[in-house]
Amino acid sequence: MNIALIAHDNKKNDLIQFTTAYQLIFAKHTLFATGTTGLKINEATGLPITRFRSGPLGGDQEIGAMIAQNKMDAIFFFRDPLTAQPHEPDVTALVRLCDVYSIPLATNMGTAELLIRGLDEGFLDWRNIAKGESHEQ
């Protein structure tokens, strides 16, 4: 599965701790991340990560493009609800695309726990079918 990892500045350490805790599960998948977040996770875990630009410089939109092309299976986006983000329209667009294309999206630690455990149990295997159907159309 293709998984995106994104975190606002005040949530980066939370996402690093989360990916470290579930490193064995994440290692079974192909990881993508926005710039700084991907670098910090890679440094902490050694997991291979394809890095895009930072969120404010278009990284959110690059991940959004993968969603629109049916090339992303799950998003872990630890958002900071208490700090205004200069690229909020990009964040809103990314969340909207997850809703449009039914891509599982965890925006906080509680939901992320459920999503990672579901991923490990095979509850997202329907994404393999969804990708296969989109290629036939």
Whole-number Å distance between alpha carbons of 35 and 129: 30
Closest CA to 57 of 75, 34, 84: 34
Catalytic residue among 9, 14, 60, 99: 60
Of 41, 70, 38, nearest to 51 (Cα)? Answer: 38
Q: Under DSSP, is residue 51 helix (H, G, I), strand (E, B) or coil?
A: strand
CB 87 within 8 A of CB 34: no
Q: Tell me how far apart the alpha carbons of residues 91 and 20 are, in angstroms, rounded to a whole number.
A: 25
- 73 is known as an active-site residue: no
Residues serving a catalytic function are: 60
